[in-house]
Amino acid sequence: MQKLRDIILTFGMLKQKWLPKMEKIIIAALSNNTVIGNKGKIQWHISEDLKRFRRLTLGKLVIMGRKTYESIGKPLDKRVNLVVTRNREFSGKGIIICQSIEEALEKSEKYGKKIYISGGEEIYKQTIDLADRLELTRVNREVEGDSFFPQIDYNKWREIFRENHKDFSFVSYERIVGK
Ligand SMILES: NC(=O)c1ccc[n+]([C@@H]2O[C@H](COP(=O)([O-])OP(=O)(O)OC[C@H]3O[C@@H](n4cnc5c(N)ncnc54)[C@H](OP(=O)(O)O)[C@@H]3O)[C@@H](O)[C@H]2O)c1
């Protein structure tokens, strides 16, 4: 019995050491004043942004808060949808319900190696320190809103990609090793 336990423990340690680690990517669109939404909605309609979101996340996992899920109203197609809620009664077709972010990350390991953390404010706040990459759409205007992206500590992030458009930019950051 002890031997079996040792084998399981060793296997777990090897798995942690050698398997590629899960990449946690925050994907968000924010205005100059860091607004991401107002009254449950996003105030801009940028079709290039929607297309980019779809292109990046297709076939991958997406994690979102219950409020964001409800504002979309249905699971995102061709993606594994994990919805975080503390409400044990919450249910929905085509989604995986998780009682915590830790549970969502743990469950994700079964489905893939890239998770897109897709909002909203509460979820971004709790995951910005865990994320490996930020895929941001910087909307070049000030807007009124009630939901915000958390403060970004630029000492911890390196810009690795930028594509400027007239009214917005796509900007990617990766976490600086050790930060
Ligand atoms: N611009 C963008 O890129 C973007 C992207 C996504 C969303 N948004 C906007 O963001 C706004 C929504 O953000 P929000 O902060 O109000 O809501 P949210 O983050 O989408 O969802 C919040 C809910 O998630 C659940 N939750 C949060 N932390 C949890 C935890 N640790 N464990 C278990 N459950 C947890 C709770 O659900 P229960 O109450 O059910 O327990 C909580 O009420 C909307 O305006 C939306 O349009 C913008």
In a domain, 7, yes or no: no
If one counts the domains in the chain, the total is 1
Burial of 178 (0-12, 13-18, 19+ CB in 10 A): exposed
In a domain, 10, yes or no: no
Report how far ligand 1's centroid is from the alpha carbon of 26 (Å): 13
One digit per residue, the tens of pLDDT, for the chain of length 179 reads 677 777 766 665 555 555 568 999 999 999 999 999 999 999 999 999 999 999 999 999 999 999 999 999 999 999 999 999 999 999 999 999 999 999 999 999 999 899 999 999 999 999 999 999 999 999 999 999 999 999 999 999 999 999 999 999 999 999 999 99
What is the 3-class SS of 77-144, one letter each residue?
CCCEEEEECCCCCCCCCCCEEECCHHHHHHHHCCCCCEEEECCCHHHHHHHCCCCCEEEEEEECCCCC
Task: Tell which residue, 28, 23, 24, 25, has the closest CA to residue 149.
Answer: 28
Burial of 123 (0-12, 13-18, 19+ CB in 10 A): buried
Contact 136, 173 (CB under 8 A): yes
Q: What residue numbers bound the domain in which 96 lies?
A: 21-175
In a domain, 49, yes or no: yes
| Residue from 27, 36, 56, 152 whose mutation best tests the ligand 1 pocket (most atoms within 8 A of CB) | 36
In a domain, 16, yes or no: no
Contact 134, 30 (CB under 8 A): no
Predicted model pTM: 0.92
User: CB of 37 closer than 6 A to ligand 1?
Assistant: yes
C-alpha of 45 from chain center? 20
CATH number of domain containing 130: 3.40.430.10
User: CB of 36 closer than 6 A to ligand 1?
Assistant: yes
In a domain, 8, yes or no: no
User: CB of 66 closer than 6 A to ligand 1?
Assistant: yes
In a domain, 11, yes or no: no
State which ligand 1 atom lies nearest to the alpha carbon of 64.
Answer: 20
In a domain, 9, yes or no: no
User: CB of 67 closer than 6 A to ligand 1?
Assistant: yes
